[in-house]
């Protein structure tokens, strides 16, 4: 029986360093290659030694597919391809291909330049890695080789996020990456057709949330910013160049427009144009509304948001500043933070995860006194807020996707074990399909039962549609038995059985036969029974003859004759 094997190297009952190995129809595929933000040691990257102990991965993997540009899905890619060693194809969508190297470079800078780590991938390695990337278009069927084909579907979540359908022969797997089933401010909802995969591998970040509260969080965010501005405070939002920054910009831009607010919004320099440009150029990946109106008004050309100059930080009055980097560990965001930290009217909003050791991480943990370089300490008096804006499918959304794709089995990754357990129960109950949730390094094996495709001769098909009967099968072709014999140069072989039954009956032969005939007629209803003039009785195709024994005319010998095919009838 053919099998599909799924082994998470990361994201098995966990969030972070997504990396899932799939073996299907003799092909090995790696889905995502992320890093874990919460670790600084070896656990940061997936354990590639699971694949092979010695050396390069190229011969063990047929392809690598990256679902989207978040680092927990692509952060380990240059490490895997350049340091462990993989030269095969890497697939990702165009926006992911464009944005992923920028985030990788940012990440590299933090790790190497700031924290002084060695044995990490270099800028050149990021470039070399990206050279191995083949861009994917939505819905395009990409033939990785003669047997393996992949197809990307829109996943929402972030710009360029995709779900992938992986197919070998009649077996298939869908991997969702991160997705969102409701359209948000700049992205559309995930969609997939009824592809009936053998396994649907889904993220389950919000496995227990029934209604995604993103709208509420947005309202919360706006309220906090607004209140701060109202009382004359300054709001600092540390962000990374791409992704969340644009979403929050749209949020504030529309809010400013609606509320007719005058306080300036700044975006730290060097980023604005460039980052927003990606969104303008990939506008086809955003939601319907933005796409429809982009000629008249490009949502990523912000009217209220202006470029920041460092001198503005000292300007009196309220303002909102987006500044990089997002974890307050260096650069402009840190400089501004230092300037504003002492005033309780001000506020810093952290819209994303912060790595341990960064100032962002410290203040989120409630630390109010920070040691700065040169033994100085910084009193943190401003308000600190944390807000997650990531767009994931909630339990309802996950169920909706299952209804869309109609998988035969379900496999959960990218979530917490307890929440998965809950969702698993719900899925098994509602859809009566198996639901798996392997831990990292644990292999789930699903047995598939594919139909066997064969080619039937058209004549036969047309005939059989009307009749039904026997056909012959060889070399993957179905033909009529006559044709099969002809093509193979064989003759049909007739096999008949004749059975002698003796019975005592004083009547003449024809009379005996007639009595048998009438008897059969009364017993075997619903069968064709004929009394033929040549002195035989036929029951369907069974021939019955009567003759007298030479010695004793009262002993009749009944000859029953039937063909081999009839024996099947009797069974």
Partner 1 sequence: MKLYCLSGHPTLPCNVLKFKSTTIMLDCGLDTTSVLNFLPLPLVHSPRLSKLPGWVSKDGTINLEKELKECAGRVFVDSQPEFCLPERELLDLSTIDVILISNYHCMMALPYITEHTGFTGTVYATEPTLQIGRLLMEELVNFMERVPKAQSATCWKNKEIQRMLPGPLKDAVEVWTWKRCYSMQEVNSALSKVQLVGYSQKVELFGAVQISPLSSGYSLGSSNWIIQSHHEKVSYVSGSSLLTTHPQPMDQSSLKNSDVLILTGLTQMPTANPDGMLGEFCSNLAMTIRAGGNVLVPCYSSGVIYDLLECLYQFIESANLGTTPFYFISPVANSSLEFSQIFAEWLCHNKQTKVYLPEPPFPHAELIQTNKLKHYPSIHGDFSSEFRQPCVVFTGHPSLRFGDVVHFMELWGKSSLNTIIFTEPDFSYLDALAPYQPLAMKCVYCPIDTRLNFHQVSKLLKEVQPLHVVCPEQYTQPPLSQSHRSDLMLELQPPPMPYRRCSVLNLPFRRRYERVYILPELANSLVPSEIKPGTSVATVSAVLHSKDNKHTLQPPPAPPTKKRKRVIEEPPVVLAPKPLLSGAVPLEAFLATLQKHGISEVKVEETADGHILHLQAEDTLIQLEEDGTHIVCDNNEPLRSPERCKLEGN
Identify the three-state secondary structure at position 556. Answer: strand
Paired with 323 in beta bridges are 238
Least Å distance between CB 92 and partner 1? Answer: 12
> By CB under 8 A, which span of 61-69, 389-397, 489-497, 503-511 interacts with partner 1?
489-497
By CB under 8 A, tell whether 490 contacts partner 1.
yes
Identify the three-state secondary structure at position 187. Answer: coil
Among 478, 516, 537, 546, the residue binding partner 1 under the rule CB under 8 A is 478
Kind plus residue range of the DSSP H or E element containing 291: helix 288-293
Least Å distance between CB 258 and partner 1? Answer: 26
Catalytic residue among 203, 218, 247, 253: 203
Instruction: Name which of 260 and 494 has its Cβ closer to partner 1.
Output: 494
- Non-local (6+) Cβ contacts of 173 within 8 A are 4, 6, 22, 24, 165, 166, 167, 197, 198, 199, 200, 201
Instruction: Name which of 372 and 454 has its Cβ closer to partner 1.
Output: 454
Among 343, 443, 449, 518, the residue binding partner 1 under the rule CB under 8 A is 449
> By CB under 8 A, which span of 42-50, 326-334, 359-367, 561-569 interacts with partner 1?
561-569
Burial class from Cβ neighbours inside 10 Å (0-12, 13-18, 19+) for residue 465 reads exposed
Among 95, 152, 105, 5, CA closest to 282: 95
By CB under 8 A, tell whether 465 contacts partner 1.
yes
Least Å distance between CB 452 and partner 1? Answer: 4
> By CB under 8 A, which span of 24-32, 361-369, 409-417, 451-459 interacts with partner 1?
451-459
Q: At what angle do helices 272-281 and 94-108 cross, to 10 degrees?
A: 160
Q: What x/- string results for residues 50 through 89 when contact with partner 1 is judged by CB under 8 A? A: ----------------------------------------
Instruction: Name which of 43 and 280 has its Cβ closer to partner 1.
Output: 280
Among 19, 471, 516, 542, the residue binding partner 1 under the rule CB under 8 A is 471
Least Å distance between CB 453 and partner 1? Answer: 6
53, 413, 349, 110 alpha-carbon torsion, rounded to 10°? 10
DSSP line for 513-538? HHHHHHHHHHHSTTS-EEEETTTEEE
By CB under 8 A, tell whether 564 contacts partner 1.
yes
> By CB under 8 A, which span of 103-111, 202-210, 351-359, 474-482 interacts with partner 1?
474-482
Q: Are 420 and 437 a contacting pair, CB within 8 Å?
A: yes
Among 221, 278, 340, 517, the residue binding partner 1 under the rule CB under 8 A is 278
CA 445 to chain CA centroid, Å, is 17
Kind plus residue range of the DSSP H or E element containing 43: none
If you compute the radius of gyration of the chain from its CA atoms, what whole number of angstroms results? 37
Instruction: Name which of 97 and 157 has its Cβ closer to partner 1.
Output: 97
Task: Respond yes or no: is residue 203 known to be catalytic.
Answer: yes
> By CB under 8 A, which span of 11-19, 46-54, 310-318, 456-464 interacts with partner 1?
456-464
∠ Cα 439 441 442 (to 5°): 60
By CB under 8 A, tell whether 523 contacts partner 1.
no
∠ Cα 539 545 549 (to 5°): 150
Kindly list the residues in this chain that would bind partner 1 in the complex (CB under 8 A): 94, 97-98, 135, 137-142, 151, 274, 277-278, 280-284, 294-295, 449-458, 461, 464-465, 467-475, 477-478, 481, 484-485, 488, 490-501, 564-565, 567-569
Catalytic residues, by residue number, are 203
């Amino acid at each position: 029986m053919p099998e599909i094997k799924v082994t998470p190297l990361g994201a098995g009952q966990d969030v972070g360093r997504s990396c899932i190995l799939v073996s299907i129809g003799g092909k090995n595929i790696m889905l995502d290659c992320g890093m874990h933000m919460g670790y600084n040691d070896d656990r940061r990257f997936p354990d590639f030694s699971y694949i092979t102990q010695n050396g390069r991965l190229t011969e063990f993997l047929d392809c690598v597919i990256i679902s989207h540009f978040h680092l927990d899905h692509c952060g380990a890619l240059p490490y895997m391809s350049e340091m462990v060693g993989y030269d095969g194809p890497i697939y990702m969508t165009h926006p992911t291909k464009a944005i992923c190297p920028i985030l990788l470079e940012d990440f590299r800078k933090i790790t190497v330049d700031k924290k002084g780590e060695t044995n990490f991938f270099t800028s050149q390695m990021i470039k070399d890695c990206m050279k191995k990337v083949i861009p994917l278009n939505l819905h395009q069927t990409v033939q990785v080789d003669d047997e393996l084909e992949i197809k990307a579907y829109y996943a929402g979540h972030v710009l360029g996020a995709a779900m992938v359908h992986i197919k070998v022969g009649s077996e298939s797997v869908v991997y969702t990456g991160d997705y969102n089933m409701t359209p948000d401010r700049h992205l559309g909802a995930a969609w997939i057709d009824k592809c009936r995969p053998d396994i649907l591998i889904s993220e389950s970040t919000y496995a227990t949330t029934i209604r995604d509260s993103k709208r509420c969080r947005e309202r919360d965010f706006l309220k906090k910013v607004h209140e701060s501005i109202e009382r004359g405070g300054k709001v600092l939002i540390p962000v990374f160049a791409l992704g969340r920054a644009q979403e929050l910009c749209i949020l504030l831009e529309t809010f400013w427009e609606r509320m007719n607010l005058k306080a300036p919004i700044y975006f730290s320099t060097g980023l604005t144009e460039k980052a927003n440009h990606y969104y303008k150029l990939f506008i086809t990946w955003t939601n319907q509304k933005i796409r429809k109106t982009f000629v008249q008004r490009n949502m990523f050309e912000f009217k209220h948001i202006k470029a920041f100059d460092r001198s503005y930080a000292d300007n009196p009055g309220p303002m909102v500043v987006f500044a990089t980097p997002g974890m307050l560990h260096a650069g402009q965001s840190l400089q501004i933070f230092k300037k504003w930290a002492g005033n309780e009217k001000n506020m810093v909003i952290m819209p994303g995860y912060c790595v341990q050791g960064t100032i962002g991480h410290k203040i989120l943990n409630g630390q109010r006194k920070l040691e700065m370089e040169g033994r100085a300490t910084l009193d943190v008096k401003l308000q600190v807020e944390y807000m997650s804006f990531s767009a994931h499918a909630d339990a309802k959304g996950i169920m909706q996707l299952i209804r869309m794709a109609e998988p035969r089995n379900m496999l959960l990754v990218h979530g917490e074990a307890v929440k998965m357990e809950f969702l698993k129960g719900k899925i098994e109950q509602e859809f009566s399909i198996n639901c798996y949730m392997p831990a990292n390094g644990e292999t789930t094996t699903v047995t598939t039962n594919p139909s066997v495709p064969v080619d039937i001769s058209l004549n036969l098909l047309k005939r059989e549609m009307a009749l039904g009967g026997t056909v012959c099968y060889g070399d993957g072709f179905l033909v009529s038995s006559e044709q099969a014999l002809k093509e193979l140069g064989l003759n049909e072989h007739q096999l008949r059985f004749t059975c002698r039954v003796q019975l005592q009956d004083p009547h003449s032969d024809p009379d005996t036969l007639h009595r048998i005939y009438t008897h059969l007629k009364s017993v075997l209803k619903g069968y064709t029974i004929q009394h033929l003039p040549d002195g035989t009785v036929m029951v369907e195709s069974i021939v019955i003859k009567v003759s007298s024994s030479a010695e004793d005319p009262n002993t009749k010998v009944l000859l029953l004759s039937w063909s081999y095919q009839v024996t099947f009838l009797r069974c």
